[in-house]
Amino acid sequence: MSDSTDEVRAYTVRLELVDEPGELLRALRPIADNGGNLLSIFHERGNVTPRGHIPVEVDLEATPERFDGIVDALREAGINVIQAGAQRYGETLTVVLSGHIVDTDLSDTLSRIQQETDATVTDLSLSAPEGTDDISSARLRLAAEEGETGATMGTLRTIAAEKDLRVIEPLTAGGEA
């Protein structure tokens, strides 16, 4: 395999912007100025974060070296970079929770996962065939930083234990060297 640093790769950058006019443009300028080629912008206006910010997902192409420059420039411009590229949030973790998921405040469970771990929840599916006030299950997909999956699972177990939820873990978490 080639280790050439000149190779252009695709990256995803997740930003959180303050809800003010001009913020999106201000966030995109450092990308263009530092040699990034914008592929797509997903502006989640309807999806405000717990801190009242608006998440934006930007796909771009750049060489690894230029990409580092882009992230630095974004941070220098005061833009809140939540995730940068695949190399940081390199591990996807899928877990199934079961128990009284809805009764024990699912949105609180999700917020706590976001706040207390370095991982971010990227997907959620709920199955409650007996109705939401009975036993139900939820499948969560988390993007965790490389090497942090063990810690993420540990926190998740603690949150689940407090809510008397059962966690069905993936095989790799906590099992790898």
Partner 1 sequence: MRLAVLGAGAVGSSVAELADEYGHTVTALTDSTGAVVDADGIDVAAALDRKNREGSVGTAAVDDALDGPYDALVEATPTTLGDAQPGFSHVEHALERDRHVVLANKGPIAERYGEVRDLEADSEGAVLFEATVGGAMPVLSTIDDFGADHISTVRGVLNGTANFILSRMAAEGLDYEHVLAEAQDLGVAEADPTFDVEGTDAALKFVILANVLADGDREYSLDDADVEGIKDIPGSALELATEDAQTIRLIGEVTPDGEVRVGPRLVPEHGTLAVTGTNNIVQLETNHAGRLNVSGRGAGGPETATAVLADVGRLPER
Name the segment binding partner 1 (CB under 8 A); options: 1-9, 64-72, 79-87, 89-97. Answer: 89-97
What type of residue sits at position 150?
Answer: G
SS3 88: helix
What is the Cα–Cα distance from 68 to 127, expressed in whole angstroms?
A: 41
Residues between 98 and 117 that touch partner 1 (CB under 8 A): 98
CB of residue 143 vs partner 1: minimum separation in angstroms?
Answer: 15
Is position 135 an interface residue for partner 1 (rule: CB under 8 A)? yes
Backbone angles phi, psi at 174, to 5 degrees: 75, -10
Could you say which of 64, 128, 155, 163 contacts partner 1 (CB under 8 A)? Answer: 128
Output 69 or 170, the one with its CB closest to partner 1.
170
What is the Cα–Cα distance from 156 to 110, expressed in whole angstroms?
A: 10
Is position 131 an interface residue for partner 1 (rule: CB under 8 A)? no
CB of residue 138 vs partner 1: minimum separation in angstroms?
Answer: 7
Place of tokens 């910010």: 53
What is the Cα–Cα distance from 90 to 9, expressed in whole angstroms?
A: 15
| Count of residues touching partner 1 (by CB under 8 A) | 21
Could you say which of 9, 33, 44, 127 contacts partner 1 (CB under 8 A)? Answer: 127
End-to-end CA distance of the chain: 25
Residues between 153 and 172 that touch partner 1 (CB under 8 A): 166, 168-171
CB of residue 133 vs partner 1: minimum separation in angstroms?
Answer: 14
Backbone angles phi, psi at 46, to 5 degrees: -80, -5
* DSSP structural state of residue 21: T
Residues that bind partner 1 (CB under 8 A): 94-96, 98, 125, 127-129, 135-139, 166, 168-171, 174-175, 177
